[in-house]
Amino acid sequence: MPLSVDLRLAKPLALNVTFEIHGFTALLGRSGAGKTSLLKALAGLLPSTGIPWAGLPPESRPIGYLPQNSSLFPHLSVLQNAAFARRGPDRLNRAHALLEELGIAHLADRLATNISGGEAQRAALARALARAPDLLLLDEPASALDAITRDAVLAHLIDTITCKNIPALAATHDPAIAALADWLVLLSDGKIIRQGTPRALLDDPGTTEAAKLLGYQNFWSESGILYTIESTRIELAQTGRPARITSIREQGRHLRLTCTAPEPFTLLPGAEAASFTANQMVHLLFPPDAKKILAA
């Protein structure tokens, strides 16, 4: 069963949102869009009206909350951090079991200041899970992780949540993280503009703002119709839309070309593009199945 959210928030910015949480749900929006405020409202840390848990104080809400950068207590050990939300004589044993499940039991006696970003993320997750929450809130879960460990830690995080059957809402500005979600919610100007599976939204962004949030970079009009297309789907051909190459840059195993046609386009062609030069005229081909129609 999805968890329905219908919240109104006046400060620190106005939000009026209605959406659903299915499994691991990503809340995708630009910096400053209100993602953190929305999580805090759900956690009861900001005054709001609506559902769920309207009027309940933070300590009475069945919420596990991972703020940005984990926010572990620096003077406590990893075990003490994990046990902080629990009460009763078995609190340390239960916390230690969670550390074992997350693969960091060997860090139990280490101070929170003496562990890596990925380890801190797992310790913070253990602390959140210790409350046996009905909903887990994650604020930019990759913000404290380096590029090397990010994918592995996020995959472990999502697997843990899925195995425990705990719905989660992860605020992020990164389309790559949003693509890992079971359900995707797009936040813009204080409102939810789209929601659905990542595949469905990528296949049909609907609006320019939604497409930009999802990582689309190319926009143009034909016969009064506005289109977008992924950079990897634009082809170089003998005929097509005339364009001038403005820059060529290596991007891993690809070349990244920027062109004007006269709109700016970014594409990632194969190795055959290595023979092209800046200011050269080329033709861009947009496969019909790759073109996405956008609302005006």
Residues in the chain: 296
**Where is pLDDT greater, at 87 or 56?**
56
pTM: predicted TM-score of the whole model, two decimal places = 0.87
- Given this model, what pLDDT does residue 172 score? 93
- For 166-188, the pLDDT digits (tens) are 899 999 998 988 988 999 999 99
The answer, yes or no, to whether residue 145 has pLDDT greater than 80, is: no
The alpha carbon of residue 186 and the mean position of all alpha carbons in its chain are separated, in whole angstroms, by 10
What is the pLDDT averaged over residues 211-224? Answer: 94
- For 228-263, the pLDDT digits (tens) are 999 999 999 999 999 999 999 887 777 889 999 999
Q: CB-based contacts of 264: which residues, under 8 Å, 6+ apart?
A: 218, 246, 258
CATH for 3-203, among 1.10.3720.10, 3.40.50.300, 3.40.50.920, 3.30.470.20?
3.40.50.300
Q: What is the CATH topology of the domain spanning 216-294? A: OB fold (Dihydrolipoamide Acetyltransferase, E2P) (2.40.50)
**Where is pLDDT greater, at 152 or 36?**
36
Helix 91-101 vs helix 117-129: angle between axes, to the nearest 10 degrees? 130
User: Contact, 264 vs 229, CB < 8 A?
Assistant: no
- Given this model, what pLDDT does residue 144 score? 65
- Given this model, what pLDDT does residue 102 score? 79
What is the pLDDT averaged over residues 123-137? Answer: 86
- Domain(s) of CATH 2.40.50.140: residues in the chain: 216-294
* 286-292 own/partner pairs: CB under 8 Å, 24+ apart: 286/227, 286/229, 286/233, 286/234, 286/235, 286/240, 286/241, 287/233, 287/235, 290/229, 290/230, 290/233, 290/234, 291/227, 291/228, 291/229, 292/203, 292/204, 292/205, 292/211, 292/216, 292/227, 292/228, 292/229
User: Contact, 87 vs 71, CB < 8 A?
Assistant: no
Percent of the chain with pLDDT over 90: 53
- For 97-118, the pLDDT digits (tens) are 888 887 889 998 899 888 887 7
User: From CA 48, how far away is CA 227, in angstroms rounded?
Assistant: 38
The answer, yes or no, to whether residue 203 has pLDDT greater than 80, is: yes
Q: Is the dihedral of CA 141, 145, 150, 156 positive or negative?
A: negative
The answer, yes or no, to whether residue 213 has pLDDT greater than 70, is: yes
Q: What angle do CA 31, 33, 34 make, to 5 degrees?
A: 110
- Domain(s) of CATH 3.40.50.300: residues in the chain: 3-203
Question: 97-109 burial, b if ≥16 CB within 10 A, otherwise e?
Answer: ebbebbebbebbe
